[in-house]
């Protein structure tokens, strides 16, 4: 099944809504953002998250030692690097946080600009996440990107791919059909306003993903007959 991350979690209420709806992971923005949470808030929210649901801290160009200290305090199961972190940075994190999942964000504009060059081939995260972003925001813009244009480059990646950027219940199946990613990440597409999740939107989003999964599984089984 497709891995589903609800990002920009800011309260126990929103965490509970996402967990009850069937999310696989919650994202916590630990850098400047309308959805930013403090270390203590992330820790507190994390205490209500059951085993089996991942907690991912999102950081931008933070010092590796500082990031590791925060991740340990908050008991994150993974970290998402949303800045210009390089392969040396990833190696440093692996030494500081053995066993923790490392997700590296790709900017869609960079992927689309590299029609023939490999994308970030020297980096070896556990997962890639492609997001739209813009000149002032790295994510959470509510804008999609050219999925078909990015697909040739993304399929060359060695690690699992997570797709973000303007996803919602209405368009997530189309993104899944084109990119066939390992997971999806949603933030603004399931909010009432920045930092406040909408229960109905989360339920509809997760239901749309699971409907796609079920249909894909059925097609796979039919091909075996």
Which tens digit of pLDDT belongs to each residue from 91-130? 999 999 999 999 999 988 878 876 555 666 678 999 999 9
DSSP label at 34? T
- pTM, whole model, 2 decimals? 0.94
Q: What is the dihedral of CA 203, 141, 85, 104, to 10 degrees?
A: 30
Q: What average pLDDT does the chain have?
A: 93
Distances (CA, A) of 153 to 6, 9, 62, 213, 218: 25, 30, 28, 24, 28
Residues marked active site are found at 7, 131
* CA dist., res. 55 & res. 155, Å (int): 26
Domains delineated in the chain: 3-224 (3.20.20.70)
Instruction: State the distance between the two ends of the chain, measured CA to CA, in whole angstroms.
Output: 21
């Amino acid at each position: 099944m497709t891995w589903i991350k609800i990002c920009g979690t800011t309260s126990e209420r929103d965490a509970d809504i996402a967990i009850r709806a069937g999310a696989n992971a919650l994202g916590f923005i630990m850098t400047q953002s309308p959805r930013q949470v403090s270390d203590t808030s992330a820790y507190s929210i994390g205490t209500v998250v059951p085993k089996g649901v991942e907690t991912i801290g999102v950081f931008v160009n933070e010092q590796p030692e500082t990031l590791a200290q925060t991740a340990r305090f908050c008991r994150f199961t993974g970290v998402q690097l949303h800045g210009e972190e390089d392969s040396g940075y990833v190696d440093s994190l692996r030494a500081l946080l053995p066993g923790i999942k490392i997700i590296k964000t790709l900017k869609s504009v960079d992927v689309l600009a590299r029609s023939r060059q490999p994308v970030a081939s020297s980096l070896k995260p556990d997962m890639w996440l492609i997001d739209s972003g813009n000149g002032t925001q790295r994510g959470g813009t509510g804008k999609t990107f050219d999925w078909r244009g990015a697909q040739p480059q993304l399929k060359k990646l060695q690690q699992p791919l997570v797709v973000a950027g303007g996803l919602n219940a209405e368009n997530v199946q189309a993104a899944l059909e084109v990119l066939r990613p390992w997971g999806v990440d949603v933030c603004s597409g399931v909010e009432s306003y920045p930092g406040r999740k909408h229960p109905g939107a989360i339920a509809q989003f997760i239901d749309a993903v699971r409907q796609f999964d079920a249909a894909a599984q059925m097609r796979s089984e039919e091909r075996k007959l």
